[in-house]
C-alpha cells in the first residue's frame, strides 16, 4: 500500500503520513495511548485510497473522528494542540530522540501502571522538563525526574515499579513468557496483545512447532502428531498383554505423547532466546512448564509461566463457536463435537498448574487478562530487581 503524503500548506513540503506522529498529537489532546493508537489506525485505513492530503484537511478529518467517537471536548483539545512544538531531545547511549508523552505513557503502562495514571505521570514529567527549561537531557537524569514525578503525583509503589523495570532493562536479561491453555482459551489473541504492548518481536506457537516436526517425521515415527491435541489418543498404540496399562486417561496420555515429541523443540527455543538475550513469548496447548527443563533459563532470564482458562463449559462452547466463525478453516462443529475431551484436557492442565503454583488466569475480557499478565510480569521483575529509593539509577 502506497503511503499517503501530507502536504504542509505553509511550505509545500510533502511528508508521509506517520501514524506515530498522530498518536502523539492525540495523546497530547488527552486520549489514553490505546485509544490514540486505535484512532490513528482508523485514520490510516481511511486514507488508504488518498495519495495526498493537506495538513489542514488532515487535521479536520481527525477532528471529525474525535468528535464522533470521543465527544466535542476531546475534539477542541486536539484542535488546540499546536501543529509544532519545540522538542526536548533525549540522549541515550545509542541515539537521540524527541521526548514523547505518548511513548512514555505507553512504557509506563507496560510496567503494569494503569493507563490513566501512566498518562498523568507522563504529562507531569513533560511539564517538569519545560519548567526546568530543558531543551535536551540525558536518559539517566530523565529517569530520575520520571521517578520523582511518579512518586510525587502517583504513588511510591508506582515509582518503585518503574524503577524496577528500568533496572531489569539495564541488566540485559531476556523476558520469557510461557502462555499455556487448552483449545479456545484465547492464547493467540492474548499473546499478540502482550507482544504489541511490550514490543516483543518473537512469538512462537507450539502449533507451528508441531507442524514443522510433522513435516519431516513420518506418521509411523510420531503417530500422535497426526491428530489435534484432544484427539491425540487415537495415535497411541493399542495396549497389549506385554505392555502395561496406561496410567493416565487416554485423552491426557495422547496429549502427553505429543508434548514429549515437542519438548526438545520448546526447550531449544527457550535456550536460544536466553543465549541471544531476546525476549520471547511461547504460546500453545503444549506449553507445560512443569515438565520443561527451565533451570538455566530461570537463572539467566525472567521466566513467567501461566495458564489461561475458561472456567465454565458453556463459555468455552461459545468461544469455540466464535473461533469457528472467525477462522473459516477451523470448523466450530469439529471442536464442539469434542468439547468433553477439550474440557478434560483443560482440567488436567489446570490441575497440573495449580499443584505447581503456576498462575491460572481466567480469560473473560482481553483487557483484564492482559493487565493481569503485566502484573505477573511486574511482580517477577520487582522480585529480581527490587527498587531502592535511595538509588536513582
Asked whether residue 390 carries a pLDDT value surpassing 50, the answer given is no
pLDDT tens for residues 126-135? 999 999 998 8
Helix, strand, coil % in the chain, rounded to nearest 5: 60, 10, 30
pLDDT of residue 391: 46
Q: Residue 308 has which C-alpha cell?
A: 489461561
| Contact between residue 161 and residue 111 where contact means Cβ atoms under 8 Å apart | yes
pLDDT band at 223 (very low <50, low <70, confident <90, very high): confident
pLDDT of residue 329: 53
Mean pLDDT of 62-90: 79
pLDDT tens for residues 341-351? 999 999 999 99
pLDDT of residue 392: 45
Question: Could you give the CA distance from residue 339 to residue 77 in angstroms, rounded to a whole number?
Answer: 51
pLDDT of residue 86: 53
Q: Which of 88-92, 179-183, 251-255 has the lowest mean pLDDT?
A: 88-92
* Share above pLDDT 90 across residues of the chain, in percent, rounded to a whole number: 48
pLDDT of residue 267: 96
pLDDT of residue 31: 81
Mean pLDDT of 329-348: 82
Q: Of 105-114, 214-223, 278-287, 312-321, where does the model show the most confidence? A: 278-287
Please state which of the four CATH numbers 3.40.50.300, 3.40.50.880, 3.40.1440.10, 3.40.50.2300 is assigned to the domain occupying 175-362: 3.40.50.300
pLDDT of residue 254: 93
Residue with cell 483449545: 183
pLDDT of residue 328: 54
pLDDT of residue 347: 94
pLDDT of residue 144: 94
Q: Which of 9-23, 119-133, 259-273, 351-365 has the lowest mean pLDDT?
A: 9-23
Q: Which is it for the CA torsion 283, 284, 286, 291, positive or negative? A: positive
Q: Where are the beta strands (DSSP E) in 190-316?
A: 203-205, 280-283, 302-309
* Share above pLDDT 70 across residues of the chain, in percent, rounded to a whole number: 91
Mean pLDDT of 105-111: 90
pLDDT tens for residues 14-68? 878 877 778 777 877 778 777 888 888 899 888 888 999 998 899 899 999 999 9
pLDDT band at 93 (very low <50, low <70, confident <90, very high): confident
Q: How far is CA 86 from CA 97, 130, 136, 176, in A?
A: 13, 10, 11, 39
Asked whether residue 95 carries a pLDDT value surpassing 70, the answer given is yes
pLDDT of residue 335: 79
Average pLDDT, the chain: 87
Smallest Cα–Cα separation from 22: which of 65, 86, 67, 69? 65
pLDDT band at 361 (very low <50, low <70, confident <90, very high): very high
pLDDT of residue 3: 74
Q: How far apart are the two ends of the chain, measured CA to CA in Å?
A: 44
Produce one character per residue of 148-172: b if its CB has 16 or more CB atoms within 10 Å, e if not: ebbbebbeeebbbbbbbbbbbeeee
Edge-first strand order for the sheet with 96-98 is 96-98, 89-91, 136-138
Amino acid at each position: 500500500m502506497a503511503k499517503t503524503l501530507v502536504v504542509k500548506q505553509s511550505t509545500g513540503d510533502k511528508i508521509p503520513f506517520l501514524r506515530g506522529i498522530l498518536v502523539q498529537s492525540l495523546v497530547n489532546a488527552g486520549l489514553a495511548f490505546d485509544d490514540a493508537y486505535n484512532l490513528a489506525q482508523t485514520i490510516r485505513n481511511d486514507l488508504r485510497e488518498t495519495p495526498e492530503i493537506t495538513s489542514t484537511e488532515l487535521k479536520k478529518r481527525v477532528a471529525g473522528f474525535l468528535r464522533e467517537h470521543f465527544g466535542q471536548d476531546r475534539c477542541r483539545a486536539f484542535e488546540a494542540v499546536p501543529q509544532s512544538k519545540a522538542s526536548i531531545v533525549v540522549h541515550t547511549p545509542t541515539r537521540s530522540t524527541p521526548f514523547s508523552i505518548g511513548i512514555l505513557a505507553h512504557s509506563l503502562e507496560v510496567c503494569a501502571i494503569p493507563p490513566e495514571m501512566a498518562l498523568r505521570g507522563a504529562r507531569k514529567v513533560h511539564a517538569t522538563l519545560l519548567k526546568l527549561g530543558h531543551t535536551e537531557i540525558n536518559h539517566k537524569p530523565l529517569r530520575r525526574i520520571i521517578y520523582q514525578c511518579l512518586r510525587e503525583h502517583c504513588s511510591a509503589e508506582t515509582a518503585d515499579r518503574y524503577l524496577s523495570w528500568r533496572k531489569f532493562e539495564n541488566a540485559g536479561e531476556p523476558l520469557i513468557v510461557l502462555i499455556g491453555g487448552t483449545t479456545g482459551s484465547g492464547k493467540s489473541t492474548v499473546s499478540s496483545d502482550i507482544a504489541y504492548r511490550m514490543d516483543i518481536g518473537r512469538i512462537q506457537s507450539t502449533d507451528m512447532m508441531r507442524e514443522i516436526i510433522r513435516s519431516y517425521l513420518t506418521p509411523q515415527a510420531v503417530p500422535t502428531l497426526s491428530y489435534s491435541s484432544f484427539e491425540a489418543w487415537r495415535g497411541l498404540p493399542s495396549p497389549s498383554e506385554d505392555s502395561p496399562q496406561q496410567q493416565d486417561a487416554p485423552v491426557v496420555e495422547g496429549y502427553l505423547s505429543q508434548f514429549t515429541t515437542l519438548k526438545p523443540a520448546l526447550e531449544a527455543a527457550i535456550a536460544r532466546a536466553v543465549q541471544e538475550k531476546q525476549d520471547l513469548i511461547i504460546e500453545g496447548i503444549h506449553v507445560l512448564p512443569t515438565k520443561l527443563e527451565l533451570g538455566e533459563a530461570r537463572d539467566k532470564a525472567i521466566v513467567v509461566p501461566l495458564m489461561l482458562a475458561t472456567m465454565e463449559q458453556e463459555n468455552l462452547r461459545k468461544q469455540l463457536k466464535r473461533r469457528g466463525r472467525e477462522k473459516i478453516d477451523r470448523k466450530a462443529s469439529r471442536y464442539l463435537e469434542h468439547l468433553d475431551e477439550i474440557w478434560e484436557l483443560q482440567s488436567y492442565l489446570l490441575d497440573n498448574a495449580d499443584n505447581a503454583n503456576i498462575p491460572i488466569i481466567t480469560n473473560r475480557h482481553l483487557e483484564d487478562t492482559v493487565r493481569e499478565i503485566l502484573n505477573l510480569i511486574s511482580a517477577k521483575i520487582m522480585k529480581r530487581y527490587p527498587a531502592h529509593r535511595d538509588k536513582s539509577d
